[in-house]
Structure 1
Amino acid sequence: MDSKPSESSYELRLQAAERFAQGDASAVIAKDLRVSVRSVQRWRHVWEGAVHVLWARRGRRRCRG
């Protein structure tokens, strides 16, 4: 399953991240973006970790202030 030649993998990951935030399923995202479900699952795992880190940092800042 190849993506369109004009779309970089970065752009695909950005589109996937928007869909993660909307709560879309990995299989649906993979089909729409024409990539493997496993790729979307890996991207989701990274995205969820990043969101967790951002929330943790935000919480620490509030405690200081």
Structure 2
Amino acid sequence: MGLNLRNAIIHNVSGNNQDQLKDTIVDAIQSGEEKMLPGLGVLFEVFWQHADENEKAMILETLEESLK
């Protein structure tokens, strides 16, 4: 049986409030474990799919500046 990782991650955080989502993100970053990267990627994908053009431009600018 194949596990759809994307759907599993979305299922695990669906219904979470902002504090819970923030805790999930902060914990994943602070742990430094590479196994957490797919989850952060799925959260970013959800953000990107629902962001307007101004939000996308803001995150791209932030990423560009942060990666210099």
TM-score bracket relative to the smaller structure:
0.3 to 0.5
Q: TM-score, normalised by structure 2?
A: 0.37
Q: Which has the larger radius of gyration?
A: 1
